[in-house]
Amino acid sequence: MAVYAIGDIQGCYDPLRKLLDKISFDPAKDRLWCVGDLVNRGPQSLEVLRFVKSLGNSCVCVLGNHDLHLLGQAAGKVPYASKDLKTVIKAPDADELIDWLRRRPLIHDDKDIGWCMVHAGLHPAWSLKKTKRRAARVEEVLQGKDWRKFCRFMHWCKLPAHDPEGKLMRRIFTASVLTRARYCTSSGDFNWSVRIGKPKRKAEKAWYSHEELAWRGKRRIVHGHWAAAGLVSDQPHVLGLDTGCVWGGKLTVVRLDGKKLKFRKVSCRACLTPGK
Cβ atoms within 10 A of the Cβ of 128, count? 19
Mind listing the pLDDT tens digit for each residue in 1-57? 899 999 999 999 999 999 999 999 999 999 999 999 999 988 999 999 999 999 999
**Residue 200 pLDDT:** 83
271 has a pLDDT exceeding 70:
no
Q: What distance in Å separates the CA atoms of residue 221 and residue 40, rounded to the nearest whole number?
A: 24
User: Is residue 169's pLDDT more than 70?
Assistant: yes
Could you tell me which residues come within 8 angstroms of residue 29 by beta carbon, excluding any fewer than 6 positions away?
1, 2
The answer to whether the pTM exceeds 0.85 is yes
The pLDDT score that the predictor gives to residue 138 is 98
Looking at the chain, the whole-number percentage of residues with pLDDT higher than 70 is 96
159, amino acid identity: L
Secondary structure of 153-176 as H, E, C letters? HHHHCCCCCCCCCCHHHHHHHHHH
pLDDT over 90 (residue 261): yes
Domains of the chain: 3-271 (3.60.21.10)
48 Cβ contact partners less than 8 Å away, ≥ 6 residues apart = 9, 11, 12, 13, 16, 38, 39, 42
- Residue 193 has φ and ψ, to the nearest 5°, of -95, -30
The pLDDT of residue 276: 37
